[in-house]
Amino acid sequence: MNKQAIPYKIYLKENEMPKQWYNVRADMKEKPAPLLNPVTHQPMSAEELSVVFCEELVRQELNDEDRYIDIPQEIQDFYKMYRPSPLVRAYCLEKQLDTPAKIYYKFEGNNTSGSHKLNSAIAQAYYAKKQGLKGVTTETGAGQWGTALSMACAYLGLDCQVYMVKVSYEQKPFRREVMRTYGASVTPSPSVTTEAGRRILKAHPGTGGSLGCAISEAVEAATSQDGYRYVLGSVLNQVLLHQSVIGVETKAALDQYGIVPDIIIGCAGGGSNLGGLISPFMGEKLRGERDYRFIAVEPASCPSLTRGKFVYDFCDTGMICPLAKMHTLGSNFIPSSSHAGGLRYHGMNSVLSQLYHEGYMEAVAVEQSLVFEAAVQFARIEGILPAPESSHAIRVAIDEALRCKETGEEKTIVFGLTGTGYFDMFAYEKYNNGEMKDYIPTDEELRRGLEKLPQLR
Ligand SMILES: *Cc1c(COP(=O)(O)O)cnc(C)c1O
């Protein structure tokens, strides 16, 4: 055990940075269920998936066997521009909370896109470029993924077409402009430029859109243009794989000081940052080497783990993407418009869904006013203005630290601080004005969302 004092920030040296991603599926006895063809309901073959996705990414998507996958040198070099990300000891927050708990956070907001999404964006853009494609299409919700992807595409000289959820397009003009500055074209979704968009507009006139709608549009745009493929910023297993760089770095940094966490907490939208952060630790738990508590934090207004069903569902509202077995609220579930806090996707990555189903991970749903309360508290004492998404994890980290105060336990808590909130000032404004409303869907509303689940043959 290393007796050195723990610094405020632990940074890995450049030569200590991960050279491989860790694939947690290799250590799962019960593998996540395969993606199914939305028409035949048969497992999607690599060939079928390659119509929509880049070839190497399809291989990664289907790879349940290899524990480690080499990070190509070019991606390692790109990572070096903004990684390693710091693992921060939240000494100031601990003192304010007067807790015996030790709190650490892994901060992924130190790049222009402002979130962890760049870790997968550069990988996906790299494989698209390597395949000789002209460009990629994608959706973006709050805009972090679109920003990250446009940065990666600009670096590699790829065309980038982004379908942006309409409410965000209108509420976050600066995000849109960052993407355009990096050379991306940005279309508000649903739009009339695709079949899927026109269909959704007809069924829900005036809708502010959803991630599910935007996905349908981006997939259609990819398959209707030569030399284009679709890329996705979350939910898929390949994204979780790329994001394992967060967890591998975290574990290496903790190991240097002999720190063993008790609780690891992350916010969960589609599951990629949480999955990436916990992966190497979950591997140890799955192999029976060590035990940890893992906590997924989701919004009470979009509670796919805590109140959804574990079934096959469409990944998109347009029902054209493959079916994934996951915790879902139904692909036509659109969270209340009073929900400002991000994490509005109806489903959850299938690896995390499976692990949750088997009891390896816990989940809690939190209301957004409590999330913003934690965000403001954190900003004032630790300095960083957190993204609303990240603040879900802050909320539960604080709650766990306060519990330690009651019991006197000196637990070590690690949470993922996925990004910064500079483009979320409308949401902060609502909170500061005391106008933020909490919305918890009724059982009846959830039932309606689950009505149109695909019936498997
Ligand atoms: C996209 C995003 C999330 C949620 O996505 P996951 O795939 O669940 O990680 C969380 N935090 C930030 C800052 C994001 O941009």
Q: Is 13 exposed, middle or buried, given 0-12, 13-18 or 19+ CB atoms closer than 10 A?
A: exposed
Backbone angles phi, psi at 411, to 5 degrees: -75, 150
Whether 395 and 298 have beta carbons less than 8 Å apart is answered as no
Backbone angles phi, psi at 419, to 5 degrees: -175, 180
268 lines ligand 1 (CB under 6 A): yes
391 lines ligand 1 (CB under 6 A): no
Distance between CA 357 and CA 373 in Å, rounded?
Answer: 30
pLDDT band at 1, cuts 50/70/90? very low
Mean pLDDT of 101-113: 97
Backbone angles phi, psi at 24, to 5 degrees: -65, -25
Query: What is this structure's pTM?
Result: 0.96
**Is the pLDDT at 137 greater than 80, yes or no?**
yes
**Average pLDDT, rounded, for the chain:** 95
pLDDT at position 4 = 67
Atom of ligand 1 nearest to the CA of 117: 15
| Closest CA relative to residue 273, chosen from 67, 395, 378, 414 | 414
* Range with the poorest average pLDDT among 84-98, 232-246, 339-353: 339-353
In terms of pLDDT, which residue wins out, 218 or 210?
A: 218
In whole angstroms, how far apart are CA 52 and each of 32, 44, 130?
21, 12, 16
302 lines ligand 1 (CB under 6 A): no
- If you count DSSP H runs as helices and E runs as strands, how many of each does the chain have, helices first? 18, 15
- Site to probe by mutation for ligand 1, drawn from 85, 144, 378, 422 as the one with most ligand atoms within 8 Å of Cβ, is 144
273 lines ligand 1 (CB under 6 A): yes
348 lines ligand 1 (CB under 6 A): no
| % of the chain beyond a pLDDT of 90 | 88
Distance between CA 161 and CA 164 in Å, rounded?
Answer: 10
pLDDT at position 316 = 79
The per-residue pLDDT for range 27-62, each reduced to its tens digit, is 999 999 999 999 999 999 999 999 999 999 999 999
117 lines ligand 1 (CB under 6 A): yes
Distance between CA 71 and CA 190 in Å, rounded?
Answer: 36
pLDDT band at 3, cuts 50/70/90? low
pLDDT at position 417 = 98
Distance between CA 102 and CA 295 in Å, rounded?
Answer: 16
The per-residue pLDDT for range 284-303, each reduced to its tens digit, is 999 999 999 999 999 999 99
Atom of ligand 1 nearest to the CA of 269: 8
The closest residue, in CA terms, to atom 4 on ligand 1 is 269
- Site to probe by mutation for ligand 1, drawn from 108, 110, 117 as the one with most ligand atoms within 8 Å of Cβ, is 117
In terms of pLDDT, which residue wins out, 312 or 211?
A: 312
297 lines ligand 1 (CB under 6 A): no
